[in-house]
Amino acid sequence: MEQPRILIIDPSSDWNAALKSKLQDKYRVRTACNGEAGWELMQGFLPDMVILDVMLPGMDGISLLRHCAMQGITPMVVVATRLCSDYVISTLSQLGVSYIIPKPCLPENVAGCLEHIHELSPILQKQNQSPEIDRILLRLGISRKLSGSRYLTHAIRYFSLNPAQMLTKELYGAVGQQFHASASQVERSIRTAISRAWESRDERVWQRYFPTGADGLVRRPTNGEFISRLGEYSFDEDCGINPSAM
C-alpha cells in the first residue's frame, strides 16, 4: 500500500525538518515555508494530510484553506499555531480543520497526534488504497476550473467505498451535501466536465482507462460509466492500471 502523503507548511524551516524526521519512516513528506509554495505543493503533491500554521508569509493559512475548498482539494488538516483567537478557531472549524494544536508544541507531540487521527480515520485509510483520482482526472483533461471536477473527485471516492449505491438517488445527493448543491446540479456539472474533456481528449490517454469501440476509439462515457470505471480499479503510484483489479 502506498504511504500516505503529508504536507507540512510552517514558516520555520527548522520546525519543518524536525517534524519531517519524525514522520518520514511512515509517510511521504513534503515541506513548505510560505503560503504560495504550500499552495503549489497542495495542487501537485495532493497530500492526504496537512500540518499547517495559520501565520505564514505571503498567503496566510486561512486563505490557503479557502483556495483548497474552492478547488475541491480536501486533505485532512491539522493546524499548529500560536494564533488561537475565537475568530480563528471558528473560521478553521468552518473550513473543516480536524485538530488545532496551540504552539509552542514539540514535533513528536504533533507526530503522535497524526498517528491518532490516522488510526481513527477508516475513510482516509481506504482513500490511501484507492486511485490517485485527482492525478487521473488531470490526465484525462478534466479542468479544475469546473465545479464538475470537484464533484467527480468526491463521487469516485464515495463510489469506491460503496459500489452498490445508486447514482441519482444516493451518490449525487451525498456529493451535493458537501458543496451545498442539489443532486441535479451535481449531475449536470459532472456531465459537462466529462463532455468537455472527451471532446478535447488525448485518445492514447483515454484508452488507458476506457474501452475502445470497433473503430479503435473511445466512445464518450456516461456519468455512471466514468465514475464506476475509475472507482473500481486499483492504481499504482504512477497511475497505471493494476491488472489484478480487472
Average pLDDT over residues 6-22: 95
| Dihedral pair phi/psi, residue 241, rounded to 5° | -70, 135
**pLDDT tens track for 156-200:** 888 877 787 788 778 898 888 777 778 898 999 999 999 999 999
CB neighbour list of residue 25: distance below 8 Å, 6 or more residues apart: none
**3-class state of residue 147 by DSSP:** helix
CA atoms within 13 A on the CB side of 216: 1
What is the pLDDT, as a whole number, of residue 156?
A: 87
167, 215: one domain: yes
Strand order in the sheet with 99-102: 28-32, 5-9, 49-52, 76-81, 99-102
**pLDDT tens track for 96-151:** 786 888 888 888 888 887 776 666 554 444 444 344 677 888 889 998 778 888 88
CA–CA distance from 176 to each of 5, 93, 148, 172 (Å)? 26, 20, 11, 6
Segments forming the whole domain that contains residue 71: 5-128
**pLDDT tens track for 69-98:** 777 677 888 899 888 787 888 788 778 786
pLDDT band (50, 70, 90) for residue 16 = very high
**pLDDT tens track for 224-236:** 999 998 886 544 3
Lowest mean pLDDT among 31-35, 41-45, 58-62, 186-190: 41-45
Return mean pLDDT, the chain. Answer: 82
Listed residues 111, 128, 145: the one ending a domain: 128
145, 117: one domain: no
What is the pLDDT, as a whole number, of residue 145?
A: 75
What CATH number is given to the structural domain containing 20? 3.40.50.2300
**pLDDT tens track for 206-215:** 998 898 988 8
- Strand locations in 10-140 (E): 28-32, 49-52, 76-81, 99-102
What is the pLDDT, as a whole number, of residue 67?
A: 87
Counting beta carbons within 10 angstroms of the beta carbon of residue 169, is it exposed (0 to 12), middle (13 to 18) or buried (19 or more)?
A: exposed
148, 226: one domain: yes
Q: How many domains does the chain have?
A: 2
Give the Cα separation of 238 and 230 in Å (integer).
Answer: 15
171, 154: one domain: yes
48, 160: one domain: no
Listed residues 128, 147, 166: the one ending a domain: 128
What is the pLDDT, as a whole number, of residue 121?
A: 55
